[in-house]
């Protein structure tokens, strides 16, 4: 009897549907899990009589139901705050790119940590997170280069050192308008060379004996010399008309650092009023040597290192992959996906380019499983399974009736 096999096909199909629903419910708290959806389709139909031009329709009997597809629902999950700087959530359609050293895989699970070699890896499987590294000299990140399995992100906490050469200093305060031209004003401050070594600088201001609102300046240093000199002028109300002065200190003993240190001193906050002389250097942008202590991740996936000397430097940028049909990805388990022939070629770009989306550090994307909907689907599927089991029971009773005809 066809009905017996039709009922069995229904039982098998709805059992698969229950398996999918059970997996969705089991992963309701899995980070970045994507729920699956089952679609049904009518199985083959047996044609008892074809249609004719006389107005008779085809006479066909269906042979049951089968699975049409099981596809992932790739909608965005809610975000959960964790406060961990290495937890990263994706907002958009992109995927993180992981490597085991030979092959690439995709994931939306943003639970990362540093391994023993200071590589940023997925906490669940140890696969390395891929991205582009910054140029150590310029800090620039070239995202136009191809991403190979070896371009892993490394954060050398505690081992990477950096310093910054002084380029700008800022002055503020007052130069006494009644200062004796024979009594120069010395102002001293410390700058740093390209290796982070400190050097003392003295800028001497001398009031002009001829022009009341003009001062001459010169530079000296125990560690080098500068041939640069010049003048600064003030208005009748005491405001400085010279925005800045520039000079180059040539080190006597560079010790491997750049011999010439060009400096620009900003003077817009300096005044010439009758009163005590208080002009001094209040800021400079050079830094001594410091060790990498921590890092942060912004919404563009750029990792910025924070050093013990206060310096901030770009280290790397996370790469994301986008595919034309995310639902066509092959689920590898463990929150990992691989491209299939139905996904199209992955497009690897930085965050916030195209459909890749942006990042949120300190957050994780939660499962997109709708628990209420899954329980409703479970009830419907269970009743469908019961109905098909009743068909099998009825077909069995009919066979039993046939067997009793002999009596």
Q: What is the pLDDT of residue 407?
A: 61
Does the pLDDT at position 98 exceed 90?
yes
CA 333 to chain centre: 23
What is the average per-residue pLDDT within 266-278? 95
**Window from 86-95, 146-155, 342-351 with minimum mean pLDDT:** 146-155
Sign of CA dihedral 226, 228, 231, 232: negative
In which band, very low, low, confident or very high, does the pLDDT at 352 lie, cut at 50, 70 and 90?
A: confident
Return left, alpha or beta for 326; rule: phi > 0 is left, psi -120 to 50 is alpha, else beta. Answer: alpha
d(CA 207, CA 36): 81
Contact 28, 83 (CB under 8 A): no
Instruction: Note the pLDDT tens digit of each residue in 163-204.
Output: 999 999 999 999 999 999 999 999 999 999 999 999 999 999
Q: Compute the average pLDDT of residues 67-72.
A: 86
In this prediction, residue 377 carries a pLDDT of 93
Mean per-residue pLDDT for 88-99? 92
| Bigger pLDDT: 1 vs 285 | 285
- Across residues 62-66, what is the average pLDDT? 76
* Residue range 87-94: mean pLDDT, rounded: 92
Q: Where are the domains of the chain?
A: 2-74+368-406, 79-162+291-365, 166-285
The residues facing 334 across adjacent strands are: none
Could you give the CA distance from residue 107 to residue 35 in angstroms, rounded to a whole number? Answer: 14
pLDDT score of 224 more than 70: yes
pLDDT at 405 (0 to 100): 81
- Report the pLDDT value the prediction gives residue 66, as an integer from 0 to 100: 78
* Total Cβ atoms within 10 A of residue 219: 21
Residue-level pLDDT at 1 = 65
> For residue 389, is pLDDT > 90?
no
Give the residue-averaged pLDDT of 301-327. Answer: 91
CA dist list (Å): 97 to 36, 70, 120, 165: 22, 24, 12, 36
Average pLDDT over residues 3-28: 88
The mean pLDDT value for 309-333 works out to: 90
pLDDT, tens digit, 9 for 90 and up, residues 132-145: 988 887 888 888 87
Q: 166-285 — its CATH code?
A: 2.60.98.20
Is pLDDT larger for residue 342 or for residue 61?
342
Q: How much is the pLDDT for 396?
A: 77
Alpha carbons 86 and 361: distance in angstroms, whole number:
7
Point out the least confidently predicted range of 30-34, 79-83, 135-139, 279-283.
Answer: 135-139
Q: What is the pLDDT of residue 59?
A: 77
pLDDT at 406: 67
Work out the percent of the chain whose per-residue pLDDT is above 70: 97
């Amino acid at each position: 009897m066809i009905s017996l096999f039709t009922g069995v096909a229904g039982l098998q199909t709805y059992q698969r549907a229950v398996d999918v629903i059970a997996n969705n419910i089991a992963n309701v708290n899995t980070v970045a899990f994507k729920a699956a959806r089952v679609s049904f389709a009518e199985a083959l139909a047996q044609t008892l009589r074809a249609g004719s031009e006389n107005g008779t329709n085809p006479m066909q009997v269906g042979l049951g139901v089968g699975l049409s597809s099981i596809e992932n629902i790739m909608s965005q999950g809610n975000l959960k705050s964790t406060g961990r700087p290495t937890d990263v959530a994706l907002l958009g359609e992109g995927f993180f790119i992981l490597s085991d050293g030979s092959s690439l895989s995709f994931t939306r699970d943003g639970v990362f940590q540093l391994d023993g070699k200071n590589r940023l890896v997925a906490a669940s499987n140890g696969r390395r997170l891929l991205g582009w590294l910054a140029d150590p000299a310029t800090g620039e990140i070239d995202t136009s280069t191809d991403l190979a399995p070896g371009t892993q992100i490394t954060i050398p906490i505690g081992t990477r050192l950096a310093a910054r050469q002084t380029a700008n200093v800022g002055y503020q305060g007052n130069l006494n308008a009644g200062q004796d031209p024979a009594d120069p004003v010395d102002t001293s401050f410390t700058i740093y060379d390209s290796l982070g070594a400190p050097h003392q600088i003295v800028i001497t201001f001398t009031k002009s004996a001829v022009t009341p609102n003009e001062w001459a300046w010169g530079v000296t240093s125990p560690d080098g010399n500068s041939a640069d000199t010049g003048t600064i002028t003030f208005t009748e109300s005491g405001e400085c008309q010279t925005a800045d002065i520039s000079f180059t200190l040539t080190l006597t003993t560079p010790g491997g650092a750049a011999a010439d240190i060009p400096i620009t001193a900003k003077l817009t906050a300096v005044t010439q009023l009758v009163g005590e002389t208080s002009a001094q250097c209040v800021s400079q942008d050079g830094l001594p040597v410091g060790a990498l202590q921590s890092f942060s991740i912004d919404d563009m996936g750029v990792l910025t290192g924070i050093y013990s000397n206060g310096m901030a430097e770009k280290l790397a940028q996370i790469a994301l992959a986008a595919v034309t049909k995310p639902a066509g990805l092959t689920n590898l388990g463990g929150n990992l996906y691989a491209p299939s022939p139905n996904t199209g070629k992955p497009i690897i770009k930085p965050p916030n380019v195209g459909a890749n989306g942006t990042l949120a550090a300190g957050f994780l994307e939660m499962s997109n499983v709708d628990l209420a909907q899954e329980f409703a689907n479970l009830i419907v599927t269970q009743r469908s399974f019961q109905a098909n089991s009743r068909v099998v029971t009825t077909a069995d009773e009919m066979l039993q009736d046939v067997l009793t005809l002999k009596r």
